[in-house]
Structure 1
Amino acid sequence: MNLDYFQLIDRIVDLNLGERTIVVEAQVPEKHTIFEGHFPGFPIMPGVLLTEAMAQSSGWLLLGVLKFERMPFLAIVKEAKMRGFVSPGQLLTIEAKVEHEGSGFAVTKAKGRIGKDLKCSAEITFGLTPFPDPAFRVHMDAMAEKIGFPMQVLKHD
């Protein structure tokens, strides 16, 4: 995780476009200023950042499903549940699955785990729009490479 740049996932572990699923990993930093206030003496990852990590994971899944032809943007978070604490230094694994895609929207369900322990979950709705400009698409391609997005999935049949 690179909290300062709001990059909350480190690597894509598995992207299965046939099943419309993704698995990503995020190494929670051992030390970061965010933990100084959340909470002193008992540092935990804020729920809003866990929710954002699930949204980013879902977003990368949707980029694959859409073959980078449209960009997902966060529209609605429903049923977000924080089920346990995520602490500095832990490896967070997030799984997401597309539940619906069409009519300019997509819905995913995502779960975050530490080992086998479920820590968070949410249903997330995205609007789908063309990329705002070519420079942003170039940036997204660079980020995709950085986190191990399997670019070969973008090839059309």
Structure 2
Amino acid sequence: MILERFSMLDRIVAHDAETLTAEATLPLESPVFEGHFPGFPILPGVLMIETMAQAGGWLMVSRLAFERMPLLAKVGEAKMRGMLRPGDAVTIEAKLVHDGSGYAVLAGRIRDAAGKPVADAEYTLRTLPFPEESLRALVRARGTELGLP
């Protein structure tokens, strides 16, 4: 996971048309942890939401065959159930709830290494055509790095 680049997933381990599962390990050091909180670093809740949204984004990119790009449009019913510390390994799940009219509603969840839920949210992604072919190519290349076929 590289927080400063908002690259929140390390690898995609499973996916189909309706669900995606990814894994990530929080870095041992990051400027994010220096201020959140000094002496007791934890991953901010907003970055947990971003992590879930990225998992859903990869699900939608795959589902839409790299024809459209997802952008976070709305977050609802987000719950932070625990803390994540530097070095923690997590599993991120995204499940499609609804897809239509250029919007997709997804349910996301982060689990710790023991399988305990740490965060969950329902969120909406807006899907738009890629504005440039070069961006589509970069997204496709990053998807390949993550393990997305």
Is 1:74 the counterpart of 2:72? The answer is: yes
Aligned length: 148
**Structure 1 equivalent of residue 82 of structure 2:** 84
Where 2:40 maps in the other structure, the secondary structure is coil
Amino acid at match of 1:48: V
CA deviation digits over 1:39-68, x for unaligned, max 9?
Answer: 111110000101000000000001111111
SS in structure 2 at match of 1:89: coil
Once the two structures are superposed, the pairs formed by residues 35-114 of structure 1 within 5 Å of their partners are 35-114=33-112
How far apart, CA to CA, are the structure 1 residues paired with 2:121 and 2:22? Answer: 16
2-side partners of 1:125 and 1:100: how far apart? 9
How many angstroms apart in 2 are the aligned matches of 1:43 and 1:107?
A: 31
Q: For residue 15 of structure 1, what is the aligned residue in structure 2?
A: 15
SS at 2:136 equivalent: helix
CA RMSD of aligned residues (A): 0.8
Q: Which residue of 2 aligns with 1:119?
A: 118
What's the secondary structure of 1:78's corresponding residue?
Answer: strand
The one-letter amino acid of 1:75's match is A
> Which whole-Å CA distance do the structure 1 matches of 2:19 and 2:144 have between them?
19
TM-score (norm 1): 0.91
Secondary structure of the residue that 2:12 maps to in structure 1? Answer: strand
- Map 1:25-44 onto structure 2 (within 5 A): 25-44=23-42
Unaligned 5+ runs, structure 1: 151-157
Give the gaps of 5 or more residues in structure 2.
none
Using the size of structure 2 for normalisation, the TM-score is: 0.96
* Deviating 4+ runs (over 3 angstroms): none
The equivalent of 1:153 in structure 2 is none
Provide the C-alpha distance between the structure 2 equivalents of 1:98 and 1:6, rounded to a whole number of angstroms.
22
Counterpart in the other structure of 1:2: 2
Question: Equivalent pairs: percent with the same residue?
Answer: 48
Structure 1 residue 92, shift from structure 2 partner: 1.3
Q: Using the alignment, how far apart are the partners of 1:138 and 1:148 within structure 2? A: 15
